[in-house]
Amino acid sequence: MPRITYADRFDALLAKDYLSERDRTFAESLYGSYKHRRTLTAGRKRCLLELEARYDSPPECDEEMIARIKDLRTRMSGNDAKWGLGFTESLLKQLASGAALSERQEEVLIKIESQWTGAELNKRLEWEKDFTPVMRQKFDVMVEYYRKNGYFQQIVARSVRNPEAVPSKGDYERVTANKYAAKVLDGYFAAPKYPAGSMVALRAMASWDLRRKLPSGLAIVIAENAQVPVAAARGNKVYKLLPVGGTQTVFAEERDLKTHRIPKKKAGKKATMKA
């Protein structure tokens, strides 16, 4: 019969799925020390013996609670389920070790269950069915806006990974139903003041950088809504311009532009009187 080594004992201990997270981490650290030194100190040997004795047989678990959580997890899916899935997974590990849930953990579990009832699942299906192209456009505009300014980055990352997926109602409302989104969407969807092909001039308030790019101060509008607005402010619609006398296009906000009006020619000198 082959000799049972410390490595065998550690492997057997760590294979037990009812170890608590704390004891598993501790056992892994002891095993790492053994692999490095190829021996255990007297103190570490005692710790290993205590762990083996503690987990000699599976503990009594709340099987009813385990079944309840597993049933809940079968109904959870999508981006808005990630946190709940992680939380319930930790509960299952805790229960498997023989520990009971705390009062606070049970309160959170009940709240998660309320979000994944049959009625709530039907609402989610209705939401996806009623998600219109206009809603998609609004969501995409705000994702692009927040991608640049750093807010709601988890929602942005999920959209970038799967741009065709319907966002949850919560995600949609977070990025489209706030005071900043209202200004961005108003600017993006408003009728353009300067249609493509029109001649525009810079306002006096235009930045130095924009004046540098348009030395003549005049440009032709190439495209309206050329980019998603970068500011939640009035006049934030972005235009693509071709400077008069230039070849490189420039982006400018509506608030920096005005219609270029060609000065009227002065009346010619009065005709000389007839002889």
Please say which residue of 125, 141, 165 terminates a domain: 125
Please say which residue of 125, 143, 163 terminates a domain: 125
Q: Which own/partner pairs from 33-42 qualify as long-range (CB within 8 Å, at least 24 positions apart)?
A: 34/6, 34/7, 34/10, 35/7, 40/6
Rounded Cα gap, residues 97 and 237, in angstroms: 58
Rounded Cα gap, residues 8 and 12, in angstroms: 6
Rounded Cα gap, residues 48 and 121, in angstroms: 47
Same domain, 22 and 37: yes
Q: What percent of the chain has pLDDT over 70?
A: 95
Rounded mean pLDDT of the chain?
A: 90
Tell me the CA distances in angstroms from 252 to 138, 203, 227, 255, 260, one per residue in order. 21, 11, 10, 8, 15
Q: What is the pTM of this model?
A: 0.65
Cβ 156 vs Cβ 143: under 8 Å:
yes
pLDDT greater than 60 at residue 179: yes
Work out the average pLDDT over 163-187: 93
pLDDT of residue 275: 44
Residue 39 inside a domain? The answer is yes
Range of the domain at 14: 6-54
Same domain, 165 and 207: no
pLDDT of residue 82: 86
Count of domains in the chain? 4
* CA within 13 Å, CB half, 149: 17
pLDDT, tens digit (0-9, with 9 covering 90-100), for 20-44: 888 999 999 999 999 999 999 999 9
Residue 149 inside a domain? The answer is yes
